Every structure is written in structure tokens, then in C-alpha cells.
Structure 1
Amino acid sequence: MSLRWLTLPRLVTLFIIILTGAGFQKYLMGSFNNYLMFSKPFQNLLLNQSIYGLYPDLYDDNYKYSPTFAWLMGPFYYAPTGLGVFFWNLINSAVLALGVWLYLDGEEDAARKRWMALLIILPEALVTAQNMQSNNLIVGAILLGLYQLRNERVWQAAFCFVLCGFIKFYGITAALFFIFYPKKPQFLLAMSVWTVVFALAPITLIPFSSLLNEYQEWFKVVMVSTLGRLVSVMGILEVWFGMAKTDANLRVVETVGIVLFLLPFLRFRLWSNGLFQRRMIAYFLLFIILFNKMAESPTYVLAVTGVALWWLTLDSPTRLDWVLLLTVLVFTSLSPTDLFPRFIRSEFFVPYRIKAVGGVLVWGKLQWGLWTQPADDQIKMTSSSTSAPISRLMS
């Protein structure tokens, strides 16, 4: 089937419509507890009650996010549920599309690269939208922050990173890339100011002493949270190689992952190198999921976005690169779908953490690329060998 009709404007429109519609479809099917868990804790803020703990009359499961996130979701608390679900997914999908668009701003043949990135990300973003999770918003805000940072708009960049941090804490770690860009003191000041502003925002509803108690409870919840499904390096080590699922073992794996992630930063001469920067950002998006003990299927939009950004740094993809990309598309993005029979998904893909395998392989390839990149190797702003056939489809 020819994709000639799927121009970039049409793809962006379809991207937002599909993700927004997927979440609303789940609402119509009566499956929207995640949305309730995001929007209803605002009621407890109004009543000066703890937002942590079980509230079965409002939603199932424990609320594990910050008091500030509960405060930010105030408009959705007042909105009718169906309308709120619609706008929640609309905002998430629009921020993700905008983040990809602006992150790739300034590159030659940017339209082709945006087209490819959105198409690679779409299936995984759909999984997140169907679960009404915040991960599309998180990865979009990270990319927006990196775009602003690259353009030396430090206050806007810091706003995006701090916003991520008050939704899911690991999102704020993208601020680490400020070391690649100018205005470092100004950026640190901006991060400090926005952190204080976001942290204190709920005092518009509750006393300061209550807010302090809520933050203490939040940190307890984060620290004692039960382990996720380990759709990650930890899960592969557990299922494939018999590693015991203990906190000590998981901390060792996390430490190894952190060290491996930080080591390429020792290549100081490459800090101003555009190709190195983009590879490190792609590597980061993979790392925060693959070495996350709470990683689950809806979080993988971050890892697949990392795969997409890695792919766009390849001037001439090798056969191995194509195999890795197809592995991610088929076994990461499509493995949870009805493309595969249910028994294969439940008896093979899920228990053997197949969803994580493609990302781990790309992570290894990226690690190799970061260490073997010559110091004078810059991003090629010309069309790669993959662009010709795809550009014809877009024309």
C-alpha cells in the first residue's frame, strides 16, 4: 500500500486524532480508572485530606504522584468525565507531536525526519493513550525542554523539566543535558525558581503544614512502591538468566545502568558535537525505561521515542540497523496488540519480557556508537540513504 497520500500535515492530524480517539474509546468502554486517579485527588486537596491511601469511592489503586500534580489536575476534576478524558488525551498527544516537531526544528529535510519519527512513535504512543497515562505528555515535555535549552531559552526549558518532575520524577533528569549548552548559571537559577513555584502551588488550597505532610507521604509512597512488571533489563535478567528479584540485585543493575549512561559524558571534547548530543538524548530516553524497576508497557513511548531519535542520526543505516528498528516496531510496539494471538502474548511475550528486547539491543548499539564516534564527526544535515524512497512517498 502506497503512503504517498500521508503527507506530514495529514500525519500530524491523524496522530493527534488517533491518540485522542483511542482514549475516548476506552472511556466509552468504561475503562478509565487511570484518568480518575489523576483527576479525583484534587477533591482531597479541597477537603484538606491526604491524597495518599485508598479511596475506592473515587478510584481504584493508590495515588503515587505529587501533590502538585493533583493540584494541576484541578480543571479536570470540575469537568464532566467524558469531556475531561477527551481533553486529557488531546493535550497529551498534542504536546508529544509538538515536542517531536520542535525538537527536529532546524535540521535539513526536517519534514522527512518528523514524518519518520511520528510514524515510528505512533504505535507505542497509542498504547499509552489507551491507558490514559501521562507518558506521552512526559516525553513531549522533555523534547520541548531540550528544544528550548538548545535555543538558550532557559526559563522555558526549566519549566518543562520541572513540570515533568512533578508528574513522574525521572522526567526532571533530562535537565542534566544543560551541561551541553550555554547559560548554565541562568538555567540552574530557573530550575530552582520553578521548583519552588511548583512545589508550593498547592498552598493555594491547603495549609503549608499539610503540604509538608503530603510531600513526606509522597516520598514514602515512592520509596515503598511495589515493584512493577520489570519490562526492563532487570526483567530479562530475572526471567532469562535466573537473577533473584530482590531489592539488592535491582539496585546493582540500576547502578550499572547509571554508570554506563554517565561514562560517555567523559568524552568532554564531544560535548559541543551535535551528533553526540542527539545520540546521548536518544540513549537517555532508552536508559530511563530499560533500567527502571517500575517499567511497564505504557511507559515504553519514551524508549521508542529514543529509538526514533537514534534512527534519525544514522546517515547510512546498515542491515543491522534495519533489523534493530524492525525488531523494536514488531516486538516492542506491536507485541501487545491483536496482531499476535492472545496465547502468544500471554505465554511468550509477557512472561519473557519480549517488549524490552528490541530496546536493549538498540541501547547496546547506541553505547557502541557513543564510544566509537570520532571527535570531529558531526550530524549530516543531508538526506540519508533512507530518505529517497520515503521522501517519494511523502511528496
Structure 2
Amino acid sequence: MSLRWLTLPRLLGLFIFILTGAAFQKYMMGSINNYLMFSKPFHNLLLDKSIYGLHPDLYNDNYKYSPTFAWLMGPFYYMPIGLGVFFWNLINSVVLAVGIWYFLEDEEDAARKRWVALLIIFPEALVTAQNMQSNNLIIGAMLLGLYHLRNERVWQAAFFFVLCGFVKFYGITAALFFVFYPKKPQFLLAMTVWTVLFALAPATIIPLSSLKNEYVEWFNVVMVSTLGRLVSVMGILEVWFGMAKTDANLRMVEAVGIVLFLLPFLRFTLWKNRLFQHRMIAYFLLFIIIFNKMAESPTYVLAVVGVAIWWLTLESPTRFDWALLVTVIVFTSLSPTDIFPRFIRNEFFVPYRIKAVGCVLVWARLQWQLWTQAAPDQIKMTSSSTSAPISRLIS
């Protein structure tokens, strides 16, 4: 009742306003390297120079994104930095909010579910916005792609999936859910066309031969990228159980995760069931983060969106479900913030990968729910058996 004043329009406005303004603290402190790394590689494209490798005159760190993303960020290269930071975060926050809005459009009690989803996602989205990362944009575009796919608008869906892929490659993997929907040949054609168009877009300012070299370099950069902070299942296994951080072990854990993720697809009779589809999407969004060896704190907005979608599939959450949600909010979304003293964050949360724990538990919970969900024929048998005594009583 204390949140009655926070109507959906007010919450949506605050969501976009706060996320848009979140980066200005770091901008005032001069901590804007992530933004510079996104906006400045366009400079090298204009000069027909490699966008990869170190460019300390433009930004620190190695650029690991596609040539197409550097091309798409061209308008930000020409903006004053402060204005560019504002519009970059505005675009990220709007795309995320719009993605949530449309993904939940045809749900029963859609207004309430949008309100709940925005509240659950907000703390984690704020962490991403403060770091000026692209993950809010990625997950928003993925949700828009899934929304259009569900409504059989395959060209719009393919556009958003391919856009994600040229920013962060795992974003395109959401296109896997085309198997649940009709118009499969048209969708595959749309994916092919959009991929070619996005891939060739930088050829408007550099020769094709140079563009080919850039893609070769991008592939090499991705292949040799060093490990992230392992805020994931791998990190938990390493720190809690002493698993050696070797390529063989990491690949084994990834392989187990992939098998566990793909197995529920064997429930073919549920492919057209809306509850199963939403659970699988939540399951997927958690999977691509908690089994990602490059996962770090700002990427967790994807997993927390998965948690929000899972929560909205629950008609009557149990105490255990509530405990899982609170665990995610407190230890995933709030653990990197100043709510907790710095020594707790540095000496406990970070080294013990506490941020990943709640999401791993929700993923396990989803695994159980996906396998125990009744198939359509079982639902019919149950309903007929319960209605038979009633019909006999009436007769």
C-alpha cells in the first residue's frame, strides 16, 4: 500500500530518468572509458586503420566488439562527450523499458506484471547504466525480438536479434526460439538478409578488403580473450569447491550447462504452451550468464530479467520462491552497491562470487519446473477425471 503512489507511468518515467542520469556521476569524475571505447573506434574506421589493439590516445583497454558496432556508434563520435553519454544511456534505458513493455503486452493483468518486472530489474539495470555498458540495450533488443517473433513479424524479430549479435555475440542466440513459432523458413531468410546487411554496413566508409581484415581481427580477439572474473557457475566451482581454472574444466562445465539447457526442448508437446515458452526464455537468459566464463557484474541484467520473467510465471509463489527472489535482489543486484560496507563487498561478495548464487538457484528451480510442468494430454486427463463425478452428480 505504501507504493500506491508509484503508478506504472510514474515508475516507467523514473526508470528511464534514473537510468539515463546514472552515468553522470562517473562522467563528472572522468571515469568514462567504457563510453570512449564504444564511441571512439569510429575514428579509426574513418582513417581506414584497425580498430583493434591498443589505442591509448582514444581510450584504454582493447576493443572487443564488431566493426559494425563501431560503425553504428558513428553519431556518438561527433557529439560532445557529455551529450553523448546522456544519449547513450537514454537509448539503453528506453530500449530496455520498451522491451519489457512489449514483451509483456498480451499478458493477463499486463499493467501489474510490467510494474513488478520494472521493480525487480531496476537495481541491476542501474548497475549496468552506471558503468555505461551496452547490456541494457542488448536485453531490451532481445525482448523486442522475442515479442515480434511471437507475433510472427519475422523481419522485425530478425533485425533485433542480428543487431544484438553485432554488439555482443551471445545476444543473437535468442533467435533459437524461432523453433517455437511458425514462419520458420521466412525467419531464416530474414536472419540471413539482415546479417549480410549489418556485416557490410562499414563498407560505406572503408574498402571491402579492409573490412574483411577487421572481421578476421575481431574473430581473433574474441578467440584469445582472457577470462572474465568468473562471476558464474565456473567461479563458484573454483572458489567453493577448488576446481582448477583450466580450459578443459571450463569447457566441461560449459558443455554440461549446454546439455542441461537443451534437454527441456525435448518436451515437444509443450512448445506451443505460453507458460513453457516464458519459462524457457527465463531459463535461457539465466543460462547465458551463469555459464559464461566472461560473465561479470554489469552483464547480470540479462540474468535478472530472466528472474523477473520466471517470477511472473508463478501463479502462487511459495515461501521458497520468495526466498529465491529476495536472494537475487539482495545478493545479486544490491551486493555491488554502497548498501553494504566496502570490506564486506571486497572480502566476501566478490571473492566468493556471491552475485551468481541467487541466479544459479533460480536456474535450478526453473529446471525442476520445466520438467514437472504437465503436458497438454495430462492436463486434459486430470480435468476430465475431476469433472466426471460432478457430471454424475448433476445427472
TM-score category, normalised to shorter length: over 0.9
Alpha-carbon offset, residue 146 of structure 1: 0.3
TM-score (norm 2): 0.95
- TM-fit CA distance, 1:307: 0.2
SS at match of 1:230: coil
What is the CA distance between 1:309 and its match in structure 2?
0.2
Percent identity for Structure 1 against Structure 2: 85
Which of structure 1's runs of 4+ aligned residues deviate more than 6 A?
none
CA drift of 1:376 comes to 2.5
3-state DSSP of counterpart to 1:206: coil
1:383 aligns with: none
Q: How many residues align?
A: 379
Change (3 A) 1:172 1:377: farther
* Aligned equivalents of 1:13, 1:31: Cα separation in 2: 26
Q: Does the CA contact (< 8 Å) of 1:38 and 1:73 recur in 2?
A: yes
1:175 is aligned to 175
Separation in 2 of the partners of 1:377 and 1:241? 43
1:294 aligns to what?
294
> Which consecutive residues of structure 2, in runs of 5 or more, have no partner in the other structure?
379-395
| Aligned mates of 2:154, 2:26 — CA distance in 1 | 38
Between the aligned partners of 2:225 and 2:8, the Cα distance in structure 1 is 41
Are the equivalent residues in 2 in contact too, given 1:275–1:377 (CA < 8 A)? Answer: no
Task: State the shift of 1:24 in Å.
Answer: 2.2
Q: Which whole-Å CA distance do the structure 2 matches of 1:27 and 1:17 have between them?
A: 16
What CA distance in whole angstroms lies between the structure 1 residues aligned with 2:193 and 2:377? 37
> What secondary structure, in the 3-state scheme, does the structure 1 residue paired with 2:173 have?
helix
1:393 is matched with none
Distance, in Å, in 1 between the alignment partners of 2:107 and 2:347 is 44
Pair 1:11-2:11 in alignment: yes
Per-residue deviation at 1:331? 0.3
Structure 2 distance, partners of 1:133, 1:208, is 29
Report the AA paired with residue 20 of structure 2: T
Task: Tell whether the 8 Å contact from 2:269 to 2:376 is kept in structure 1 after alignment.
Answer: no
Q: Residue 146 of structure 1 corresponds to which residue in structure 2? A: 146
- Which has the greater radius of gyration? 2
1:246-261 equivalences in 2 (<5 Å): 246-261=246-261
Using the alignment, how far apart are the partners of 1:215 and 1:372 within structure 2?
44
Residues 57-113 of structure 1: per-residue CA shift (max 9 Å, x gap)? 100000000000000000000011000000000000000000000000111110000
**CA offsets 1:247-285 (integer angstroms, 9 cap, x no match):** 111011011101100000000000001000000000000
1:273–1:377: 8 Å Cα contact kept in structure 2? no
Are the aligned partners of 1:285 and 1:303 in contact in 2 as well (CA < 8 Å)? Answer: yes
Question: 1:368 aligned to 2:368?
Answer: yes
Q: Could you tell me which residue of structure 2 aligns to residue 33 of structure 1?
A: 33
- CA shift, 1:30, in A, is 1.0
What is residue 314 of structure 2 aligned with on the other side? 314
Aligned to 1:391: none
| Counterpart-to-counterpart distance in 2, 1:163 and 1:7 | 32
Aligned pairs for 1:345-384 within 5 A:
345-376=345-376
2:387 is aligned to: none
Give the Cα separation in 2 of the matches to 1:103 and 1:331.
26
- Partner Cα separation in structure 2 for residue 260 and residue 252 of structure 1: 12
- Per-residue CA deviation, residues 13-39 of structure 1 (Å, 9 max, x unaligned), is 000000011012221221110000000
For the aligned residues, what is the CA RMSD? Answer: 1.2
| CA distance, structure 2, for counterparts of residue 140 and residue 191 of structure 1 | 18
Structure with higher RCO (Cα < 8 A, 6+ apart) = 1
The code of the aligned residue for 1:141 comes to A
Aligned partner of 1:83: which letter? L
The yes-or-no answer on 1:57 pairing with 2:18 is no
Question: 1:223: which partner in 2?
Answer: 223
Q: Deviations over 1:206-256 (max 9, x none)?
A: 110111100000010000000000000000000000000011110110111
